[in-house]
Structure 1
Amino acid sequence: MKAVGLQFALAHPAVAAVIPGASEPDRIGEDRAALEASIPAEFWSELRQPGLVHPQAPP
């Protein structure tokens, strides 16, 4: 879920940065991995179908 949240926020063209606020140094690596994680297009489609994500929202 961390990957989804970070990538969703950064997908909007008005967003230049997201600061996740790592509570421990080890979390920085987790955040970086979340940014690089592959999220299938089907996942975003499933969120759009019930209206959880606006149809025109990136990604």
Structure 2
Amino acid sequence: MSRMRIDYPRRGRRGRRRWTPSWKLTGGLFLLFGCALAALVTVVYLRIEIPGEQEVARRQATVY
């Protein structure tokens, strides 16, 4: 099993293709970004407090 490594700039390529990232590198970056975004959404979702129904009803007062 070969070790995964980042080969950038790519060896064996010349000119513009040497500096174009491989599909593995691009896919890995998209996957990393997607996981980071999912983690951020999860953390924000878990930190939001939803008040109970009774608490909301107590705060509302009818004043005439």
Q: TM-score, normalised by structure 2?
A: 0.24
Q: TM-score, normalised by structure 1?
A: 0.26
Greater CA radius of gyration, 1 or 2?
2
Q: Which has the higher helix share?
A: 2
